[in-house]
Amino acid sequence: MSSKTGTLFRKKLTVIMYVMLGLVVGSILFLNHRIMLKSQEYQDAFMEANLTNKALLLDYVLKDLSSSLEQLANSTEVTVYFQNVDLQMSLEYGLGLSIAAVQKKLLNFQGLKVLNGNKIFDCISLIDANNHVVAHTNVEEGFDHISILKELLPRSNEKLQNIIAFDYKGELKIALFQPVVLKGIFKGAVFGLLKNQALMQVIEKGGSGSHLFLVYNSLYYPKAEGELKGVSARESRKAPFLIFETQLNYFPFKLVEWVDVRAMRGGLSPWAITLFMGFLSFGLVIAGLYLQRVYEKKEMVQRINEELKEEVEARKRAEELLREAQEELEQKVQERTQELMEKNLKLQNEIRIREEMERQLRQRENMYRELYAEYDAILKNAPEIISVYDACGKILWSNFHDESYEDIFQPLVQEYLKTGIQAKREVTTRDGKIFDVSLSAIQDENGNIVKVLETRRDITEKKKMEAALSELQKFESLATLASGIAHDFNNILGGIMGFAELGLRVKDDSKRMKDYLEKILVGVERGTELVSQILTFSRTKEKGKKPLLLAPIVKETFKMLRATIPKYIAMELSIPKEPIKILGNPTEIQQVLMNLCVNARDAVPSEGGEIRAVLEKDKDSGKAILKVADNGCGIPPEVKDRIFEPYFTTKPKGKGTGLGLSIVYGIVKSLGGEIEVSSEVGKGSCFTVLIPCVEEFGEKVSEEEGLPLKKGQGNIMVVDDEAFMVEILLGMLKELGYQAKGLQDPQEVLKEFKREPFKYDALITDFAMPGMSGLSLAREIKALNQRLPIIMVTGYAQIGHEETAGFGIFKVIKKPVDMHELSYVLSEAISLKGNNSCA
């Protein structure tokens, strides 16, 4: 297509476009005119709707006020007033108070009812059914509301209207009423005169050129100036003003609004506006087209420039990205190369270390093999039996395999695994072997026992040695006393012999004879006592603990020591008067005191030596204190800590066993006591023994001492191979009131009992008899008469209750028999037998 044809086509197109534009603008102008006319119609409708809304608002306000007035009419104060009237209360008292309350209520009500800051009620009154005003609020001066109310007020509840409007001096006045009805009976009414101005302020929000009126019949508020013609809005488009009106829904009022047309719609007609707008639109379209063409050209150039610029920028960015990627790649290659080199180096180091470790491991393995072989040999040759048990108590390894003791040691391990406590340290086997057993747990990292290591040492020989040495030490002490004992015995025997000879010479004087015999008896008792001491001291089995008075034992032992220790050594004993009672064993106390005194004897010098013993009671701690002090050579500090160790001695060889002080230490500890030593070289030593005291004695024998003989009745059988013992016992039993029969042969006794098992009430038997021992006899007789009490008499010190426990022996009495003891034992035995038979 040529340029000329193109230009022609463009011109034709332009003309067509202009024609079309003209048509469009014309249409727009026509439509605009139509819209303006419609707009006027809408404006009228809006005004009408606005007025309707105001009417609705006024309706609502009036209804609300009416409702409030109803609440006032039903208030307590108003109700109480009428109740009090019915109760015939006087104006002076009840009614007066009620009226005052009502008055206050009305004033409050008036003050509370406010619209836009203005009081809505001019006046509020309460009127009774007889048209009497009960109470009212202040009223406008000159406004005789009472007379008006009397005319307006309906006479009954049914006819009462809620609102009344009336003409007061040409002005519209509005009043609200609410009846007061109590229990269905009309009592009066509450009257509220509305303030029109306040009411209208609620709805009066029109623009300039607008006036709003509240109309009731022909009465207007505010007062209308001149006559307002009722022209409807639709008919008054050309009129200088428009009037809109609407009726209230619930109250007999109309709202009328007068609007100035010029103020509302302006001075120009719709056609003038359309024409002006048409010209203006045409001009604007032409100008717009021109400007658009210029703008399009400029925009096209600018767009091409921008596209070129963007292309250049994109190319630059791509180049930059390529460069960055290349740099990054090069850096990564470098880093990876470096990393590989480092790893290679590290690997080489590790290989070297591992080779070194393997070499060391081989070395250690060889060493451990050697060590293991060595330890295995050591363990297998060790004097102790070492065993390893698993967590179930099953033996894993032992250097000495002997199944015969498994039933003894395996339960010990089992218990240790269960409780974690080793039940006993020393274990005696069936064959009399004594083992010192030590169990220790092997734990894993969580503290769980995985294995148990048992170390067992045979200490049978050691124990025997210790016992033998202890005995040896005791005899060593006894040997020390031997000369003293011999001296005492000589004295006693001399006395007995002397009094016996004197007794033989006396023939007729029975009183003197009795006196000599009693003295002989005292000598015998002293001898018996001494023998008892020696026997007690020679016992190998320890007696149990019993409550005992410390002073007599200390005194007696000290007395023996005094006889033993050379006279050039001064000895002094201090004993308190008050009894000191402890729980212990007399032999042990004697052994303690003797060992301490013998040590003191050996320590003091041959001239001027002193041994001082003190017995006292510490009232604060309640402990007995036995102190043995000397002025001897003292104990060097370097050996002071070792003096209580077994076998430790500073004496020359053969002079001591080294067990004396260790035995003292053991005895004191077994009594729950302590021993302290203070010593200074060249000045002497002091051993202080502290033993806990007890308050009361439990031993019955102690209580019985000093009591008279306990006589009784019964038939007693006595058996002893010694005829004089049978005679003595029969004599004593007779003296005690019993019938008794004495035999020397136990077989005869058994025969007697087989014949008549229940003839005798008790049997007194010797322990050792030829043919049959006392214990065998007791067993045989118990088979015949289970309840028969059997009392055993013996000269053996070691025979006690423990030794005779399984044979049904009631009591063991030591020879020589004490009549006093015999009387109590026999009495108790027979009474118990009686109780048992009753039971």
Partner 1 sequence: MFRIVFLLVAFCFFYGISELKASDKVIRHLAVPYAGFVTGDGRGLDVDLIKAFSKVTGREYKEVRTTWEDWISHLTGKKITVGPNGPEVTGEVSIRGDLAAHGITVLEWRKAFVDFSIPTFPTQVWIVAKAESDVLPISPSKDLQREISQTRSLLKGRSLLGIRGLCVDPALYNLKETGALIRYFEGSLNDIAPAVLKGEAELALLDAPDAMMAFEKWPGQLKIIGPVTEVQDMAIAFPKGSVGLRDEFNMFFQRFWESKRYKELVMDYYPHVLKHFPQFFQRSILDVK
Residues that bind partner 1 (CB under 8 A): 76, 80, 83-90, 92-94, 96-98, 101, 182-183, 185
* Closer of 106 and 597 to partner 1 (Cβ): 106
Q: Where are the alpha helices (DSSP H) in 506-620?
A: 510-538, 550-564, 586-603
Shortest Cβ 73–partner 1 spacing (Å): 17
Ranges of beta strands (E only) in 399-494 are: 426-428, 434-443, 449-458
* Closer of 181 and 549 to partner 1 (Cβ): 181
Shortest Cβ 177–partner 1 spacing (Å): 22
Nearest to 833 by CA among 815, 817, 810: 810
Residue 677 phi/psi, 5-degree rounding, is -135, 135
Q: Where are the alpha helices (DSSP H) in 382-429?
A: 406-419
* Closer of 76 and 161 to partner 1 (Cβ): 76
* Closer of 71 and 443 to partner 1 (Cβ): 71
Shortest Cβ 84–partner 1 spacing (Å): 7
Side-chain half-sphere exposure of 560, counting CA atoms within 13 A? 29
DSSP of 645-683, one letter per residue? STT---SPTTT--S-HHHHHHHHHHHTT-EEEEEEETTT
Place of tokens 């006690």: 800
Where b means 16+ CB within 10 Å and e means fewer, 19-58 reads eeeeeebeeebeebbeebeeeeeeebeebbebbeebbbeb
* Closer of 92 and 402 to partner 1 (Cβ): 92
Helix (H, G, I), strand (E, B) or coil at 204: coil
Nearest to 185 by CA among 113, 79, 277: 79
* Closer of 181 and 202 to partner 1 (Cβ): 181
* Closer of 88 and 147 to partner 1 (Cβ): 88
Shortest Cβ 86–partner 1 spacing (Å): 3
Shortest Cβ 161–partner 1 spacing (Å): 25
* Closer of 84 and 125 to partner 1 (Cβ): 84
**Displacement of CA 585 from its chain's centroid (Å):** 49
Nearest to 759 by CA among 782, 785, 733: 785
CA–CA dist 491, 487 (Å, integer): 6
Shortest Cβ 242–partner 1 spacing (Å): 58
* Closer of 97 and 517 to partner 1 (Cβ): 97
Shortest Cβ 59–partner 1 spacing (Å): 36
Residue type, 308: L
CA–CA dist 740, 763 (Å, integer): 10
* Closer of 189 and 573 to partner 1 (Cβ): 189
CA–CA dist 283, 656 (Å, integer): 151
CA–CA dist 749, 721 (Å, integer): 12
Cross-strand partners of 436: 426, 457
Shortest Cβ 156–partner 1 spacing (Å): 16
Shortest Cβ 129–partner 1 spacing (Å): 12
* Closer of 76 and 363 to partner 1 (Cβ): 76
CA–CA dist 357, 362 (Å, integer): 8
Cross-strand partners of 171: 168
- What sign does the dihedral 29-30-33-34 (CA atoms) show? negative
* Closer of 101 and 228 to partner 1 (Cβ): 101
Shortest Cβ 108–partner 1 spacing (Å): 16
Place of tokens 């011109």: 11
Is the CB of residue 178 less than 8 Å from the CB of residue 162? yes
